A = this chain, B = another copy of it.
Amino acid sequence: MKDLKREILSMVEKDLKEIEIALSDNLNPYLNLVSDVAGHILFAGGKRLRPLLMVLSARICGYKGRYDKIFSTIFEYLHAATLLHDDLVDGANLRRGKPVANSIWGNSTAVLVGDFLLARGLSIAAATGKPKVIKIIAGITEDMSQGEIHQLIRKGSPDLTEEEYMEIIRRKTAVLFEGACRISACIANAPKREERAVSEYGYNMGMAFQMADDLLDYTLDTGALGKEVGADLKEGKLTLPVIYALKEADRNDRLRMEAIIKNKNFPARDFKLLIRLLEKYGGIEYTKESAKNHIEKAKKTLLVFKPSKTRRILEYIADYALSRKT
């Protein structure tokens, strides 16, 4: 899988460099503190998956303009804005192996710089001059905030259903991926069927990406994860591996799992037991399968387009999303 990542990176090296430049060129704050805080979250080794998907989708839709990289920053800025706000909501300590912004600069600054990044994303969307694009972006931000609130409301509830989980991750993650791809079709003036295809690709990628992300919490150690192992559970965030296992478990095991979930400071021993139970009841496997189904759907929608290098990269990225270890 390392080879797949290396292969993708070699194919998109030039795009990633240009995205990196656009991210730093389009921030434009007048206060140094805003650059510092935004930079802390923006330039901390993010994968640039959202802008990259936007640039590649635009290309597969035949976009020939010069603004794809600039518009792609919208999705990284919005993403960074939600990370700043989420870290505060989640009470996490680490993000990508670094202390979270609110632990360095305080909650207030993190909130306000998040607001600034959100506003920057929307300003750049407005610069497209296309009301449809702006409507989509504004809708995404509505969805993302409500997805986060929904997750927050249901924190620590062992009766969270799979349907609710799907609704939460759709709003908090998949709509942004979907939007990045849809907007690329809009700026390329692509036909409806191409817009639909890239949108579906993005949506399914987003769903799979979030499931894979949620799995990492149960399959990696802290060093590789860049945050505390079991952090989701400590924050009361129930994800698909747990939801499924809770549903499948016999009464006894279900009670044991619920006891661990309820105790926010569970010892490492309990966490290991929980992982064994997730495996026993197929929670890990089921989540992998669900993510894989979304990835298959994502790749299938690309068949609307003729075979090309760009299509191949989009397929590779789909495969990578499923197998990534960081």
- Tell whether A135 pairs with B152 under 8 Å between CB atoms, given A113-B145, A141-B115: no
A130 at the interface (CB under 8 A from B): yes
Q: Are A89 and B112 in contact (CB under 8 A)?
A: yes
A265 at the interface (CB under 8 A from B): no
- Tell whether A30 pairs with B138 under 8 Å between CB atoms, given A89-B108, A111-B89: no
Q: Are B115 and A152 in contact (CB under 8 A)?
A: no
Residues of B within 8 A of A144 (CB): 115, 119
Q: Which of chain B's residues has its CB closest to A153's CB? A: B33
How many residues of chain A have a CB within 8 Å of chain B? 44
A234 at the interface (CB under 8 A from B): no
The CA-CA distance from A112 to B145 in the complex, in Å, is: 6
Q: Are B142 and A123 in contact (CB under 8 A)?
A: yes
A116 at the interface (CB under 8 A from B): yes
Show 27 residue pairs from A and B whose CB-CB distance is below 8 angstroms, ordered by the A residue. A31-B146, A31-B149, A31-B153, A33-B153, A85-B112, A85-B115, A89-B107, A108-B152, A112-B145, A114-B115, A115-B118, A115-B145, A116-B142, A116-B146, A119-B139, A119-B142, A119-B144, A122-B134, A123-B135, A123-B142, A125-B134, A126-B134, A126-B137, A129-B131, A131-B131, A131-B134, A134-B134
